[in-house]
Amino acid sequence: MSDAARRTPTPGPIVAFFDVDNTLMRGASVFYVGREAWRRRLISFRDIAVFAWHQFRFLAVGENRQHLAHAKERALGLVGGHTEEALVMLANDIYEKDILPNLWPETVALTREHLAQGHEVWLITATPEIVAQVIAERLGLTGALGTKVQALEGVFTGELDGPVLHGDEKATVARLFADQKRADLAQCWAYSDSSNDIPLLTMVGNRVVVNPDAKLLAHANTHGWRVLPLKRSSITDARKQVKRERKAG
């Protein structure tokens, strides 16, 4: 091997980042964390009523930054005092009872297409990372990036270990992650339904807005981004686009 070859860094993987809430699944995953906590009598009926209200608003009108942040803070607080093993068990129960029935099969099919093309597929979400990791594992994806919760001696405190992975923070974490993997962002992909993810979508070379809220749809139309309504013909076109980009690379 020549000296030049030894000095040439190995190119990193192509990464496809998928938002979770209303992109991979219908509704807000954090709501299901709250509902399972109520099933286990970890929270009161009043608490689950608050979660239900946020879920209703999310399905009806999309993300509201203040309401979503409040719901996520409540959900993160629920993990306080529980071990990682217990939370993994809870997350698996949530997956079976609540997340699996609410997955968008079309978006899941796109994750499969990326994997088939040799891409890494990472969930990126404000949901607690331990929950996101279970979703990724159960779907056979590469991994998950989520909001981290502080743990002391294997027990979660309920406090955040860093910021909620939302908006600009999500884009910052994705950029650092791509740098660590030597991934060329111009070759990477991102999928989201929310205008809060415009920073994430903007930084990659291939962005697809899925079932977008009104603000994101307007932004996508202005900038010529691909819009993916959840219907069979659009999914077929999107899968073909993944293959075309693979051949072009």
122: its two tokens: 């990472």
Task: Tokens 């496809």: give the residue.
Answer: 16
134 burial class (0-12, 13-18, 19+ CB within 10 angstroms)? buried
Choice among 21, 193, 197, 213 that is catalytic: 21
**What contacts 93, CB < 8 A, 6 or more positions away?**
36
Choice among 3, 19, 197, 213 that is catalytic: 19
> Distance (Å, rounded) from C-alpha 138 to C-alpha 27?
18
Does residue 76 contact residue 160 with C-beta atoms inside 8 Å?
Answer: yes
DSSP bridge partners of 226:
208
125: its two tokens: 């979400």
Nearest to 67 by CA among 50, 85, 88, 84: 50
Determine phi and psi for 205, rounding to 5 degrees: -80, -25
> Distance (Å, rounded) from C-alpha 19 to C-alpha 213?
14
In 3-state terms, what secondary structure has residue 123? strand
The one-letter code for the residue type at 82 is H
- Do the strands 149-152 and 155-160 form a parallel or antiparallel pair, or are they unpaired? antiparallel
Q: Verify whether residue 168 is a known catalytic residue.
A: no
Can you say whether residue 142 is alpha, beta or left, with left for phi > 0 and alpha for psi between -120 and 50 degrees?
alpha
> Distance (Å, rounded) from C-alpha 74 to C-alpha 33?
10
Which residues are known to be catalytic?
19, 21
